Amino acid sequence: MKFIDLQAQYRNIRHEIDAGINEVLQHAQFLNGPEIKLLERELAHFADVSHCISTASGTTALQVALMALEVSADDEVITTPFSFFATVEAIELLGAKPVFVDINPQTYNLDASQLEAAITTKTRVIMPVNLYGQCADYDVINQIAKKHNIFVVEDAAQSFGAEYKGKRSGGLATVGCTSFFPSKPLGCYGDGGACFTDDECLAEKMRMIINHGQSKRYQHDLIGLTGRLDTIQAAVLLAKLQHQFPREIAARQQVASWYQQFLTAPLKPPHIESHNSSVFAQYTIEVEDREQLRIALNEQGIPTAVHYPRALHQQPALEAVHHSQHFPHAERAAERVMSLPFHPYMQQETVEQVASVLNELVAVSA
């Protein structure tokens, strides 16, 4: 059994993907090829925002967004302590200080009710993460940000295709950033990402930053970086976006509803707020004795993963500054979460098999 089946996904639209890649090989514009503009237009349309800037990775997208907002040393950026490391890395790379606000233990997203207490005169940006494919509470977050005159950067690396109150992820904040890492809901065949915004000035600036700060060739108005998506990745993404992604979002939700149907108490399916629709970047539940359970599942041919085994403030690279801090919900989640096999090509019987093995193991150990 596969945890994620990227081969099935490729087989599903092999012809379109091969044709797209072949086209790039023929015209040989491996950077800034025509597929880039086309993809950016389609992604912006999909997320319902005015501007999309494709980037070299999701981490680059976060870094470029913070650079464009002129976050620098001494500034504070509020974020969640329970995410993939890249979220906090982007903040640290600019020399700014991450300030953590604990998560809501049901959704695993930044607890907006604790947000205002963390704001200081140095706060420049709030960077919520839409963990496991479900959006944070942007109405509340944006309202607090507006009141304090600070920006919001949406880490939508796991949530592209998800909706919050009928609005697509990517377009929920000052800037939205996503990732096209192969296993993300919309993945390419290497590294890739994108920034989204309705602000034309910010869009222009981000476009310059990913091209070494150039406004035109060899005129460098800003310090930037090599932050572009390459054209072959754009061709892969275009094929998926046009021929597969919308169908896959529906299939993901179908697989999640099978899990919900087959998992029995005390196991609880993920809690999705009624105003959200998740893309289930991971299908993650909480269990007791996780490591024992993972071994037992593995013995029965069922692969699992842990997203993530350590909260960010407990990571060795950050411990020096943050070791004395405590975020009990994030720490508890890091000890208990376990992700199950999940992809849009998973059959109902397979979901039922995983659930019944898991139900039995949990019942025996109780």
Ligand X SMILES: *Cc1c(COP(=O)(O)O)cnc(C)c1O
Instruction: Collapse the DSSP code of 153 into the 3-class scheme (helix H, G, I; strand E, B; otherwise coil) and give the result.
Output: strand
Distance CA 64, CA 42 (A): 21
> Any contact of residue 83 with ligand X (CB under 6 A)?
yes
Q: Which residues pair with 168 in a beta bridge?
A: 163
Cβ proximity to ligand X: between 12 and 63 the closer is 63
State yes or no: residue 181 binds ligand X (CB under 6 A). Answer: yes
Of these, 157, 194, 235, 358, which contacts ligand X (CB under 6 A)? 157
Residue 258 or 344 having the CB closest to ligand X: 344
Is 84 a residue that touches ligand X (CB under 6 A)? yes
User: Least distance to ligand X from the beta carbon of 129, Å?
Assistant: 5
Closer to ligand X by Cβ: residue 40 or 155: 155
Residue 87 beta carbon to ligand X: minimum distance, rounded to whole angstroms: 5
Check binding of 154 to ligand X (CB under 6 A).
no
Q: Name the phi and psi angles at 152, rounded to 5.
A: -125, 125
Using rule CB under 6 A, residue 227 touches ligand X:
no
Of the pair 67, 86, the CB lying nearest ligand X is at 86
Residue 339 in the binding site for ligand X (CB under 6 A)? no
By CB under 6 A, is residue 187 in contact with ligand X? Answer: no
Beta carbon nearer to ligand X, 183 or 298? 183
Q: Tell me the β-bridge partners of 337.
A: 286
Least distance to ligand X, CB of residue 181, Å = 4
Compare residues 155 and 163 and give the one whose CB is closer to ligand X.
Answer: 155
Q: Which of 104, 123, 134, 158: binder of ligand X (CB under 6 A)?
A: 158
At 342, which amino acid appears?
Answer: F
Distance CA 115, CA 136 (A): 12
Distance, in Å, from the CA atom of 182 to the CA atom of 188, rounded to the nearest integer, reads: 5
263 vs 270, beta carbon nearer ligand X: 270
Q: Which of 129, 232, 296, 311 binds ligand X (CB under 6 A)?
A: 129
Q: Write the CB contacts of 96 (distance below 8 Å, at least 6 apart in sequence).
A: 66, 71, 72, 73, 74, 75, 76, 77, 124
Q: For residue 90, which of 101, 102, 79 has the smallest C-alpha distance?
A: 79
Stretch that binds ligand X, among 46-54, 79-87, 218-226, 343-351 (CB under 6 A): 79-87
In three-state secondary structure terms, 215 is: strand
Burial class (CB in 10 A: 0-12, 13-18, 19+), 52: buried
Contact residue for ligand X among 80, 104, 109, 179 (CB under 6 A) = 179
Structure tokens at 276: 């959200």
Spatial CA neighbour of 47 closest among 215, 185, 144: 185
Residue-wise burial string across 172-188, b where 16 or more C-beta atoms lie within 10 A, e elsewhere: bbbbbbbbbbeebbbbb
In the bound state, the residue with its beta carbon closest to ligand X is: 58
Total site size for ligand X, rule CB under 6 A = 15
**Least spacing, CB of residue 159 vs ligand X, in Å:** 9
Residues in contact with ligand X by CB under 6 A are 57-59, 83-84, 86-87, 129, 155, 157-158, 179, 181, 191, 193
